[in-house]
């Protein structure tokens, strides 16, 4: 059974930093691209970033480019999102999501980690 | 970015009724569209990918159609667990996937 478990959410200050982690199990971790998708309170879904199975190909939404860094540790089946220069509009539930077999849609999602940016 | 417009924003239905949800893309996305269902307080669940292929474990009452810019998700006979928000997603532009704004399905 595929499992994705996020951790590291919480309260961050404007201009501050937070790091999210996602522990994965139940699939061949290094074979799949992984993603971060966020959802602001009461709003829709916004793709944030993706990383290929090898870690060599990385993409970001314009809204986070230059501030967020995605990475993965294939030895420990873990995905990360380092967030810097936080803004109020980064407040959201952040989901870790696994690519499907045919790629680029998301066939499994974690339960989400809430990030609140406030002074 | 490719804009996805979902309609209606809200639909009120009774169990057993048929529901058709629409998703329109601002440019052609081939059949690279997925649909997700999200219940309150839960993470999204994949229903359909490739515009018409049901994901593993998804009941036959869910069906997706479309290609190009117009897509629909049909629930043939709504069950109580089907209420919530439905999102479409395009992944034709795989460098920048986008989601529609969602359609809420609630009780009439």
pLDDT tens digits, B35-68: 999 999 999 999 999 999 999 999 999 999 999 9
B108 has pLDDT over 90: no
Burial class (CB in 10 A: 0-12, 13-18, 19+), B96: middle
Q: Is B90 exposed, middle or buried (0-12, 13-18, 19+ CB in 10 A)?
A: buried
Percent of chain B with pLDDT over 90: 94
| Residue B33: pLDDT band with limits 50, 70, 90 | very high
- In whole angstroms, give the CA distance from residue B87 to residue B13: 18
Contacts of A106 in chain B (CB under 8 A): 34, 36, 44, 46, 89
Residue A91 has pLDDT above 80, yes or no: yes
pLDDT of A102 above 80? no
Q: Is the pLDDT of residue A103 over 80?
A: no
pLDDT above 90 covers what percent of chain A? 95
- Predicted pLDDT of residue B26: 98
pLDDT > 90? residue B94: no
CA distance A93 to chain B (A): 10
A95 touches chain B (CB under 8 A): yes
Task: Give percent of chain B with pLDDT exceeding 70.
Answer: 100
Please give the pLDDT value at position B65: 98
- Nearest chain B residue to A62 by CA distance is B96
Looking at residue B85, what is its pLDDT?
98
CA-based nearest residue in chain B for residue A95: B43
**What would the two tokens of residue A118 be?**
């406030």
pLDDT band, very low/low/confident/very high, at A49 (cuts 50, 70, 90): very high
């Amino acid at each position: 059974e595929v499992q994705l478990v996020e951790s590291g959410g919480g309260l961050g200050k404007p201009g501050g930093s937070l790091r999210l982690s996602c522990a994965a199990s139940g699939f061949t971790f290094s074979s799949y691209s992984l993603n971060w998708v966020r959802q602001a309170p009461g709003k829709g879904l916004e793709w944030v970033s993706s990383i290929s199975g090898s870690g060599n190909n990385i993409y970001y939404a314009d809204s986070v480019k230059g501030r967020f860094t995605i990475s993965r540790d294939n030895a420990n089946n873990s995905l990360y999102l380092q967030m810097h220069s936080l803004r109020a509009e980064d407040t959201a539930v952040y989901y870790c999501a696994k690519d499907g077999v045919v790629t680029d849609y998301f066939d499994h999602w974690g339960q989400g980690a809430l990030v609140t940016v406030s002074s | 970015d490719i804009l996805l417009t979902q309609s209606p924003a809200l639909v009120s239905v009774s169990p057993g009724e048929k529901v058709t949800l629409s998703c329109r893309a601002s440019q052609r996305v081939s059949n690279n569209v997925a649909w997700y269902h999200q219940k309150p307080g839960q993470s999204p669940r994949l229903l359909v990918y490739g515009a018409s292929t049901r994901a593993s474990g998804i009941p036959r009452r869910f069906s997706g159609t479309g290609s190009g810019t117009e897509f629909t998700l049909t629930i043939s006979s709504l069950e109580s667990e089907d209420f919530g928000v439905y999102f479409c997603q395009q992944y034709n532009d795989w460098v920048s996937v986008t989601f529609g704004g969602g359609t809420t399905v609630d009780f009439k």
